[in-house]
Structure 1
Amino acid sequence: MLHLKEYLPGLKQGMALDVGTRFGEFAFTLVEAMPEGSRIIGMDCEPETVAQAREKSAGKGVEFMVGDAAHMDFEDGVFELVAISNTLHHIEDYGAVLDEMLRVLRPGGYFMVNEMFSDNQNEAQQTHFEQHTLEAKLDMLSGGFQRPTWKKNEIVDILKRLPLTDVRMVELLEESKMDGKLAEKNAKLVAAVEKKAAGTPDFQTLLDEARHIQARCEKTGIQRCTQLVYIGKKA
């Protein structure tokens, strides 16, 4: 896990926001990075997810709230740090969300995006990429929204239009315990296809894809794709 303090010189006590927080995994990293006395908020659009996060994470220093990241109920410039982690590809109009994150960030505050990418991965990571791609297809069938994983340069192209200074890019590898969770999900891929895609025209194709990925995992193992951490300061 990235030790964020190293990349956030001069970070002041204040409020930090994690957009699309789910159960607060990245928000807890912000707790460690922010100066003592700061307030860390994890925001997600799903009320059920927020309720579960509050229940599971009580006492860990994060406040959870339901909110629309494209239309936040915060005044301009109130946050010392805003972040979004492995959520950008789930957002159809990600430009509106990035602009809104910039609006609520104070001038000189830190803007952070953490997003896994698909290129230049080892064999085990390529297995994760293929698994994630299948999960994106199943998510779309279930009414959700999820793009296939971007390449590194595609993420940079999305972000470089933002008016940020002192930009730093760091590649991040998750702790190995995360790979065990990916392996557990891999073992359930066929069941996931049978649940979410049964009766659809692509059912057999998706089923074959799931079996191929499981066979690949047996051969290569599975490791989380490398992530790009993109950090800059609001001009």
Structure 2
Amino acid sequence: MKQLQQFFQDKTVHTLLDVGTGSGSFITVLKETFKHTRFTGIDPDMPSLEEAAKAHPDAEFKSMTGGQLEFPDSTFDAASISMAMHHLPNVQQTFKEMQRIVKPGGWIIINELFSNNLNAAQEVHKSMHHFRSTIDRLNGVCHNETFTREEILHHIEKAGLKICETFNQQKPHQEPSPEEITERKEKLTEMLNQVKDKPEYNELKQQIPEIEKALKQHGFQMATRVVVVAKVLKD
């Protein structure tokens, strides 16, 4: 992310906590900007943390949730959260915790996909994402539908953070092959089979051919993400 590199080119970040790190993919991105930073990643999912540790043996990983960070106040120079806001049971509680563990005047970086102003191929991605989020919720997993860009910025400002930089990021459009379309359909069917005993099963089943048709017609593109750099204001 060139914009991120430009913003932080004259700023020092020795330590950074990545919240909801998953397999550590955002740490990979952040390392392009923060060459000499010590990274810590947290996530409640142990298999994902094991993958992250393999990808980043120079970082530290711990199992915990964003709503209850087990670190002292003002531990890190910065914190980040990527593609995870829509997984949070309480967005404001997580932002509160992130601010607590970041030093005064430090930084919080948010990278989150949004649901509005998308093209047809991105709408395909959104429909697939919302299908999965519905399945997760039926299974008791916190997975909300995506926020609009305005809702994301509102959450950040509501938390008392000062927004210093925002920019959008897009991945390229893809024309999936017939094999890739079949593979995506099979993944949707596999997810659907997790809720065979739920009353919503038949309604969700009808969505799969609709998604398949849209995928053939429009292709696939990840929904646009907004990247926000916010400053922590506290005494």
Please indicate, yes or no, whether the TM-score normalized by the shorter chain is above 0.5.
Answer: yes
The reply on whether 1:62 has 2:49 as its aligned counterpart is: no
Output the CA distance in 2 between the equivalents of 1:27 and 1:40: 8
Please provide the CA RMSD for this pair: 2.2
Report the number of matched residues. Answer: 230
Output the CA distance in 2 between the equivalents of 1:164 and 1:222: 34
Q: Amino acid of the residue matched to residue 148 of structure 1? A: E
Who is 1:92 aligned against? 89
Superposed displacement of residue 121, structure 1 = 0.6
Contact 1:12 1:35 (8 Å CA) reproduced: no
Cα deviation code 1:91-134 (max 9, x no counterpart): 11111111000011111211111110011111100110111110
Output the CA distance in 1 between the equivalents of 2:201 and 2:169: 35
Superposed displacement of residue 48, structure 1 = 2.4
* TM-score (normalised: structure 2): 0.89
Counting only pairs closer than 5 Å after superposition, residues 200-215 of structure 1 correspond to structure 2 as 200-215=198-213
Output the CA distance in 1 between the equivalents of 2:138 and 2:18: 27
Gap runs ≥5 in structure 2: none
Gap runs ≥5 in structure 1: none
The reply on whether 1:5 has 2:5 as its aligned counterpart is: yes
Who is 1:141 aligned against? 138
The reply on whether 1:224 has 2:222 as its aligned counterpart is: yes
Q: Amino acid of the residue matched to residue 118 of structure 1? A: S
Counting only pairs closer than 5 Å after superposition, residues 182-201 of structure 1 correspond to structure 2 as 186-201=184-199
Output the CA distance in 1 between the equivalents of 2:10 and 2:74: 17
Who is 1:47 aligned against? 46
Output the CA distance in 2 between the equivalents of 1:184 and 1:105: 45
Who is 1:21 aligned against? 21
Identity of aligned residues (%): 24
Q: Amino acid of the residue matched to residue 213 of structure 1? A: I
Cα deviation code 1:167-189 (max 9, x no counterpart): 21111113668x89x96863324
Contact 1:90 1:145 (8 Å CA) reproduced: yes
Output the CA distance in 2 between the equivalents of 1:138 and 1:4: 34
User: Pick from 102, 123, 147: which aligns with 1:126?
Assistant: 123
Contact 1:3 1:33 (8 Å CA) reproduced: no
Contact 1:141 1:196 (8 Å CA) reproduced: no
